[in-house]
């Protein structure tokens, strides 16, 4: 044997005789994950992680090898059962997409290629550009627009801000920093806008205090008259307004700002117009929602996620920019840019790495491309419409029940409500605690997983229907759960009061944070 032959066991691939066993193991893993999705309804939405499970992965750094099948067993038994649950139709918390089997397979293919999408001349980059073209056309952006996959809308919002900053302050901001003018910059969004906008102001060196939050109207949309008044006052005070962000689907209640009005104000006031369409922008695929997004085509930049309403597996955020030159100006590093070749692997400039902060990037575009191609925009739009229909169904059920109170209009796919009771001894804070406890009870019951939000200073049970698997029966189960858990809490509170007056051992008077374990659903329904 020649001395230059590599030792065969230094590769991480299966040894020549071991591929068949590896392949069988791989097929088992694929089948298990397809089973997981097919039978997701048979599982609880979420369950508390037992202490032993949490502790079980705490072990020394693995210096020596472990059989794949054994490691996979840990995944099956310790990890898979204890996720957030957003694949499950009963998951209604926050805004989480449900994922699809198609997206799952596409991610497997992407990892198989192990493509690095920073740049170079390769079809994976062409595919990302193609998705950008589709998005340009879908949202009515002009020919010269550019787009880029990023982790999520938090990142896309930050990038939109950085592009706006560069467009206003010129190349000097990239070499010399903000300068005097930069310290006067002020941006605007509504009080209902997502918290990542303030974080972006921090990261961009402008400071969170330079994000001026504008009041909302009774539909939770930005109050444009208040915006104009604030703009005038800020200018009079010597500040420099430069950016307005409109929300296309607020995270609290799903409100869509009047984007046409904001576009008009931005044009008149020479502001950069950014839209945070994290989950709502893809509503453009649904014929009855699209008209409500009018004005989105005027945005200078638009951030949104395919991993929410688009059902693409995490993560798949996207930034669309009206003017690709401004986009490049904010991120391209001239030294790297100039080394590009006209031909060969180093061709195909500009590269994705010129459009954002990341150099190495995974092949995010593939799962989105597969999802769009396999299901088609019409079907995805129907899924979005259905989540809104279900929200109206839930809203009507809440309205029909005297023990429930709706706290916000049902604008899209989000319903905010609370359990109420006519107990004069209970003040508003106690009702908030009770509703928070009902939500925790529900989550721990494994039946449904809504989340909470604060509206007009009161805690609301917040149901965001994003998952394409959710059906009306899941909402019926949610309502039955809220009613019976609420009734059980009222009853136990009554018990504790009786106990204290009769001198019998007193129950805890505070709100119990754990669900009544046995039969919480045996309690009588208060209505329905």
Ligand X SMILES: *Cc1c(COP(=O)(O)O)cnc(C)c1O
Which region among 209-217, 244-252, 337-345, 412-420 touches ligand X (by CB under 6 A)?
A: 244-252
- Which residue stretch of 78-86, 146-154, 294-302, 427-435 sits at the interface with ligand X (rule: CB under 6 A)? 146-154
The mark string for 464-503 relative to ligand X (x by CB under 6 A, - otherwise) is ----------------------------------------
Task: Determine which residue in the list 127, 206, 222, 251 makes contact with ligand X, applying CB under 6 A.
Answer: 251
What is the closest distance, in whole angstroms, from the C-beta atom of residue 205 to ligand X in the complex?
Answer: 20
What is the contact mask toward ligand X in residues 151 to 190, using x (rule: CB under 6 A)? -xxx------------------------------------
CA 32 – CA 80 distance, rounded (Å): 11
The nearer residue to ligand X, 252 or 432, going by C-beta atoms, is: 252
Q: How deeply is 118 buried, as exposed, middle or buried, from its count of CB atoms within 10 A (0-12, 13-18, 19+)?
A: middle
Which pair of structure tokens corresponds to residue 395? Answer: 């809203």
Rg (CA), the chain: 26
Residue 128 found at the interface with ligand X (CB under 6 A): no
Q: Specify whether the CB–CB gap between 251 and 280 falls below 8 A.
A: no
Binding ligand X (rule: CB under 6 A), the pick from 297, 305, 441, 444 is: 305
Q: Per CB under 6 A, does 317 bind ligand X? A: yes
Name the token pair of 72: 């996979």
Q: Which of 242, 272, 279, 363 binds ligand X (CB under 6 A)?
A: 279
Q: Residue 367, Cβ neighbours under 10 Å: how many?
A: 30
- Measured from the CB atom, is 173 or 293 closer to ligand X? 293
Based on CB atoms, which residue is closest to ligand X, 106 or 159? Answer: 159
CA distance 523 to 527: 12
Q: Which stretch binds ligand X (CB under 6 A): 51-59, 63-71, 272-280, 372-380?
A: 272-280
Among 106, 138, 161, 196, binds ligand X (CB under 6 A): 196
Output the residue with the shortest Cβ distance to ligand X: 152
Per-residue b or e along 372-395, where b marks 16 or more CB atoms closer than 10 Å to that residue's CB: beebeeeebbebbbbbbebbebbb
Kindly identify the residues of this chain, within the stretch 58-117, that bind ligand X according to CB under 6 A.
95
- Residue 167's nearest CA partner among 349, 301, 335 is 301
Contact 461, 419 (CB under 8 A): yes
Number of residues that bind ligand X (CB under 6 A): 14
Residue 436: closest CA among 416, 418, 423: 418
**Shortest distance, CB of residue 196 to ligand X, whole angstroms?**
5
* C-alpha span between 358 and 373 (Å, rounded): 27
CB of 303 to ligand X, least distance (A): 7
Least separation in angstroms between residue 280's CB and ligand X is 7
Q: Write phi, then psi, for 42 (nearest 5 degrees).
A: -80, -10
Answer yes or no: are the C-beta atoms of 70 and 134 closer than 8 Å. Answer: no
Burial profile 96-117: b = 16 or more Cβ within 10 angstroms, e = fewer:
bbbbbebbbbbbeebeeeebbb
DSSP codes of every residue in 10-55: GSSSPPGGGHHHHHHHHHHHHHHHHHHHHTGGGS-S--PPPHHHHH
Q: Quick one: which segment of 37-45, 84-92, 273-281, 363-371 binds ligand X (CB under 6 A)?
A: 273-281
Q: Does 309 bind ligand X (CB under 6 A)?
A: no
Does residue 278 bind ligand X (CB under 6 A)?
A: yes
Which residues contact ligand X by CB under 6 A? 95, 152-154, 194, 196, 247, 249, 251, 276, 278-279, 305, 317
């Amino acid at each position: 044997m020649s001395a230059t032959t590599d030792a065969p066991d230094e590769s991480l691939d299966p040894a020549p005789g071991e591929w068949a066993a590896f392949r069988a193991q791989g097929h088992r893993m694929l089948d298990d994950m397809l089973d997981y999705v097919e039978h997701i309804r048979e599982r609880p939405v979420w369950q508390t992680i037992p202490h032993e499970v949490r502790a079980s992965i705490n072990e020394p750094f693995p210096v020596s090898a472990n059989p794949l099948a054994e490691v996979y067993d840990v995944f099956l038994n310790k990890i898979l059962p204890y996720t957030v649950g957003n694949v499950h139709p009963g998951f209604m918390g926050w805004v989480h997409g449900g994922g699809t089997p198609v997206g799952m397979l596409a991610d497997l293919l992407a990892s198989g290629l192990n493509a690095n999408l920073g740049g170079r001349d390769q079809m994976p980059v062409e595919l990302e550009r193609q998705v950008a073209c589709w998005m340009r056309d879908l949202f009515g952006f002009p020919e010269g627009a550019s787009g880029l996959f990023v982790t999520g809308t938090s990142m896309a919002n930050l990038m939109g801000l950085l592009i706006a900053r560069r467009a206003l302050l010129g190349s000097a901001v990239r070499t010399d920093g903000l300068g005097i003018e930069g310290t006067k910059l002020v941006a605007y969004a509504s009080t209902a806008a997502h918290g990542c906008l303030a974080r972006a102001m921090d990261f961009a060196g402008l400071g969170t205090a330079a994000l001026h939050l504008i009041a909302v109207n009774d539909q939770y949309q930005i109050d444009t008259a208040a915006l104009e008044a604030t703009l005038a006052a800020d200018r009079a005070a010597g500040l420099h307004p430069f950016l307005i962000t409109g929300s296309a689907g607020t995270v609290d209640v799903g409100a869509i700002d009047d984007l046409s009005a904001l576009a008009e104000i931005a044009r008149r006031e020479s502001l950069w117009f950014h839209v945070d369409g994290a989950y709502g922008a893809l509503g453009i695929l649904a014929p009855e929602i699209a008209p409500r997004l009018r004005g989105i085509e005027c945005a200078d930049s638009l951030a949104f996620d395919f991993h929410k309403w688009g059902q693409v597996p995490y993560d798949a955020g996207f930034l669309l920019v009206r003017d690709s030159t401004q986009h490049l100006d904010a991120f391209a590093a001239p030294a790297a840019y100039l080394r590009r070749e006209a031909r060969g692997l180093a061709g195909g400039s500009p590269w994705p790495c010129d459009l954002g902060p990341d150099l190495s990037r995974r092949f995010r575009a593939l799962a989105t491309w597969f999802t769009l191609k396999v299901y088609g925009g019409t079907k995805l739009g129907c899924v979005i419409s259905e989540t809104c229909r279900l929200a109206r169904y839930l809203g009507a059920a809440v309205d029909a029940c005297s023990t429930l109170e709706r706290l916000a209009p049902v604008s899209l796919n989000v319903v905010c409500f609370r359990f109420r009771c006519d107990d004069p001894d209970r003040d508003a804070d106690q009702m908030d605690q009770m509703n928070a406890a009902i939500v925790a009870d529900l989550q721990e019951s494994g039946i449904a997983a809504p989340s909470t939000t604060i509206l007009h200073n009161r805690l609301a049970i917040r149901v965001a229907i994003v998952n394409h698997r959710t059906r009306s029966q899941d909402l019926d189960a949610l309502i039955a759960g809220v009613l019976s858990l609420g009734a059980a809490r009222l009853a136990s509170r009554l018990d504790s009061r009786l106990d204290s007056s009769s001198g019998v051992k007193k129950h805890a008077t505070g709100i119990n944070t754990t669900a009544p374990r046995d039969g919480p659903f045996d309690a009588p329904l208060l209505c329905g």
